[in-house]
Homo-oligomer: A and B are copies of this chain.
Amino acid sequence: MPTVSSEELAAAAGVNSAKLRKDFSYLGSYGTRGVGYDVEYLVYQISRELGLTQDWPVVIVGIGNLGAALANYGGFASRGFRVAALIDADPAMAGKPVAGLPVRHTDELESIITDNDVSIGVIATPAGAAQQVCDRLVAAGVTSILNFAPTVLSVPEGVDVRKVDLSIELQILAFHEQRKAGEETSPAQETAAATAPPRSGAGVRAGAAGGRKGPDGDVPAVMPA
């Protein structure tokens, strides 16, 4: 029986072995003292807990470059996701095959959701269309949304939204890059005063940031991780 110790796993993942064991114990997965964890059993338990053993039908709305990229992405199937339908508002796209699936028109959105019992939707539309698409998805019964459009979506209680902002990742890299570059010179503070604008003038609109539910734990309020 192939096994792994928490120590091996911890080293491979770069985390503390005690934390790993404690996490596993929360999952109810039991290892064998003096031996470790049965690999196959462990994989199964984690997969099940994460929902990987279930089949999750998803729809992708907005079949531009990004939508097509997502439709072609191979990683979904292996993680238990099945692309139930591709939906686009452009009538010219309708019927056109993308990644082996015919693109369906937005008119069919509601029936597609209902017929396939879809609870997860992916929004890859332009920013302007995102909220409207979101509302329709939710109304049709979708309770989890992955949003690639650069907008904050407001959703009713009980619906989960995760926003993927491709430029935020780049910003975080640029932030660290700047740090690297700044280390051998002055502590940034100095150069600031030199180029800072006078503290006056017409401003940016403050406040008014859509109905988010609360802190999402990904990005601290001000500083990137």
Residues of A in contact with B (beta carbons under 8 Å apart): 1-2, 4, 8-9, 11-15, 19-20, 23-24, 26-28, 38-41, 43-46, 48-52, 54, 56, 58, 64-66, 68-70, 72-76, 79-81, 119-120, 122, 143-146, 150, 158, 160, 162, 164-167, 169-178, 180, 188-189, 192, 196-197, 199-204, 206-209, 212-218, 220-225
Contact = CB atoms under 8 A, between A and B. Distances in A.
A170 B1 contact: no
How often does this chain occur in the complex, in copies?
A: 2
Contacts of A217: 225
Nearest to A48: B192
Contacts of A215: 14-15
Contact of A54 (B28, B79, B178): B178
B160 A173 contact: yes
Contacts of A150: 74-75
A144 B15 CA distance: 23
A44 B171 contact: no
Contact of A40 (B4, B50, B201): B201
A158 B68 CA distance: 35
A176 B162 CA distance: 11
Max chain B Cβ within 10 angstroms of own Cβ: one of A45, A64, A158, A166:
A166
B73 A196 contact: no
A12 to B, nearest CB: 4
Q: Which 7 A-B pairs have the closest CB atoms?
A: A2-B203, A65-B69, A66-B69, A39-B203, A144-B173, A23-B222, A4-B206
Contacts of A169: 146, 162, 164
Contacts of A39: 203-204, 206
B119 A1 contact: no
A218 to B, nearest CB: 7
A137 to B, nearest CB: 13
Nearest to A221: B15
